[in-house]
């Protein structure tokens, strides 16, 4: 281990991976009482990617996303000393997805573990990784947010199933001599007393009393959409405002606010309340749906590759999800 010191932290490369197969709103109208118009208007989603259960998994989407991030950074897996995967859909409780990803990209014996924070998985993982690099405890960390939510989706539940998609987003964080670079503010919070709004029951005893009268499918995500919606609209605004106050930035000092892609109406409500320009709030929910822990990482990769993160300007990542959890991460970047 390296001696503690306050290093700067830089995102050296990003990557993402999504399954080949598209599931459109029209595909849902064939199996559920719904319509393209309802889904598009109420959520902003047109299609999502769905993993082939025989060929695609959280593990191989994570591996591909991280390999692309390493390629973008011009680095080898052997240079990583830690790999973190944020996910709620690890293949198995043991081993973690992260240890298999680390081995697949040649990062052995890097430390590796998964973080379970639902849709906040990527932002939580970025915050933990950044802290490790900043303190000198790690030189280079692979961070991934990945999900195969299709594996835990009840396709007879029209309020839930239309939202979810599969994918992975990754970033490679490295140390930098300039301590001003990296995360200038981070938050990770949770309120476990509200877990019943969004949960994944394994055994009958996991189903809370409030849901005993409903049809609950074990092994599938169960959500009180209206509750989560109300929580999310308020929390997005609060988290962004708190992060701006803590960094003494104004909303339009940021090059982008990268929001978890939960529902276009949730993102738009927060954007309008804060007075952010539309071009500063990236949206790709139309193409991927809600990919939970993967969504912020996929956005980060698409923005980076499109050159939409202005060098020298800070950007913010913000997410909320099951738990309930919420998190933010504000990054300063190097000028051109
Ligand atoms: N097609 C047609 N009608 C539908 C559908 C559908 N797919 N789903 C629900 N409806 C109906 C309802 O049955 C209801 O009908 P009723 O008035 O006759 O009872 C009506 O539409 C309105 O239902 P609401 O639940 O009020 O619809 P709402 O506008 O709230 O949209 C939604 C539902 C999209 C789920 C919304 O509540 C939402 O986005 N919630 C947040 C979800 C979220 O962000 N989850 C994040 C975390 S995911 C994670 O952590 C893994």
CB 324 near ligand 1, within 6 Å: no
159 alpha carbon – ligand 1 mean position (Å): 5
Q: What is the CA 172 to chain-centroid distance, rounded?
A: 15
> Is the omega angle on the peptide bond into residue 302 within 30 degrees of 0, that is, cis?
no
Query: Which of the residues in the chain have pLDDT under 70?
Result: 1-5
In tens, the pLDDT along 71-86 reads: 999 999 999 999 999 9
The pLDDT value recorded for residue 3 is: 53
Helices (H), the chain: 25-29, 36-43, 58-73, 97-104, 121-134, 158-161, 225-247, 264-274, 285-288, 295-305
The pLDDT value recorded for residue 51 is: 98
Residue of 60, 183, 260, 299 marked catalytic: 260
* Mutation probe of ligand 1 site: the residue of 32, 39, 42 with most atoms within 8 A of C-beta: 42
The pLDDT value recorded for residue 215 is: 86
CB 67 near ligand 1, within 6 Å: no
As a whole number of angstroms, the distance between CA 23 and CA 67 comes to 26
Task: Find the distance separating the first CA and the last CA of the chain, reported in whole Å.
Answer: 32
pTM for the structure as a whole: 0.95
Using the atom order of ligand 1, give the atom closest to the CA of residue 147.
51
State the sign of the Cα–Cα–Cα–Cα dihedral 17, 21, 26, 32.
Answer: negative
Q: Please tell me the residue having the least CA distance from ligand 1 atom 31.
A: 42
Q: Is 118 left (phi over 0), alpha (psi -120 to 50) or beta?
A: left
Q: Please tell me the residue having the least CA distance from ligand 1 atom 9.
A: 159
As a whole number of angstroms, the distance between CA 285 and CA 266 comes to 11
As a whole number of angstroms, the distance between CA 144 and CA 134 comes to 18
Active site residue 290: yes
Identify the structural domains of the chain with CATH numbers, from first to last: 8-179 (3.40.47.10), 183-332 (3.40.47.10)
Using the atom order of ligand 1, give the atom closest to the CA of residue 119.
50
The pLDDT value recorded for residue 213 is: 87
Residue of 119, 120, 160, 259 marked catalytic: 119
CB 292 near ligand 1, within 6 Å: yes
The pLDDT value recorded for residue 10 is: 97
CB 117 near ligand 1, within 6 Å: no
CB atoms within 10 A of CB 250: 10
Using the atom order of ligand 1, give the atom closest to the CA of residue 290.
48
162 alpha carbon – ligand 1 mean position (Å): 9
219 alpha carbon – ligand 1 mean position (Å): 20
* Mutation probe of ligand 1 site: the residue of 159, 223, 285 with most atoms within 8 A of C-beta: 159
Q: Please tell me the residue having the least CA distance from ligand 1 atom 42.
A: 225
The pLDDT value recorded for residue 214 is: 86
7 alpha carbon – ligand 1 mean position (Å): 45
Instruction: Say which residues have a Cβ less than 8 Å from residue 247's Cβ, sequence separation at least 6.
Output: 184, 185, 314, 330
The answer to whether residues 332 and 180 touch, using CB atoms and an 8 Å cutoff, is: yes
Using the atom order of ligand 1, give the atom closest to the CA of residue 228.
41
CB 61 near ligand 1, within 6 Å: no
- Residue 215: phi and psi, rounded to 5, are -85, 110
Q: Please tell me the residue having the least CA distance from ligand 1 atom 15.
A: 159
């Amino acid at each position: 281990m390296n001696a503690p010191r306050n290093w700067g932290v830089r995102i050296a490369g990003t990557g993402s991976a999504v399954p080949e197969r598209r599931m459109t709103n029209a595909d849902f109208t064939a199996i559920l009482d719904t319509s393209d118009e309802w889904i598009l208007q109420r959520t902003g989603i047109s299609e999502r990617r769905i993993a082939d259960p025989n060929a695609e998994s959280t593990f191989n989407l994570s591996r591909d996303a991280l390999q692309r991030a390493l390629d973008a950074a011009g680095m080898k897996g052997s240079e990583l000393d830690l790999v973190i995967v944020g996910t709620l859909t690890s293949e198995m409780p043991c081993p973690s997805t992260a240890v298999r990803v680390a081995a697949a990209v040649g990062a052995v014996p890097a430390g590796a573990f998964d973080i379970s924070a639902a849709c906040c998985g990527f932002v939580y993982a970025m915050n933990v990784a950044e802290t490790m690099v900043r303190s000198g405890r790690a030189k280079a960390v692979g961070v991934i947010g990945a999900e195969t939510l299709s594996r835990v989706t009840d396709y007879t539940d029209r309020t839930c199933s239309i939202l979810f998609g599969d994918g992975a987003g990754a970033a490679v964080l490295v140390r930098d001599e300039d301590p001003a670079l990296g995360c200038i503010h981070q938050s990770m919070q949770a309120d476990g007393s509200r877990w019943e709004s969004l949960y994944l029951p394994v055994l009958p005893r996991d189903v809370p009393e409030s849901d005993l009268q409903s049809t609950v499918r074990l092994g599938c995500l169960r959500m009180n959409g209206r509750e989560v919606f109300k929580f999310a609209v308020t929390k997005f605004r609060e988290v962004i405002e708190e992060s701006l106050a803590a960094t003494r930035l104004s909303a339009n000092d940021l090059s982008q606010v990268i929001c978890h892609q939960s529902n276009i109406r949730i993102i738009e409500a927060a954007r309008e309340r804060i007075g952010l320009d539309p071009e500063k709030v990236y949206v790709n929910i139309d193409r991927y749906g809600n990919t939970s822990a993967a969504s912020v990482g996929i956005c980060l990769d698409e923005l980076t590759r499109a050159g939409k993160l202005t060098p020298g300007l800070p950007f913010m990542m913000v997410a909320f999800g099951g738990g309930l959890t919420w998190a933010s991460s504000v990054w300063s970047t190097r000028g051109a």
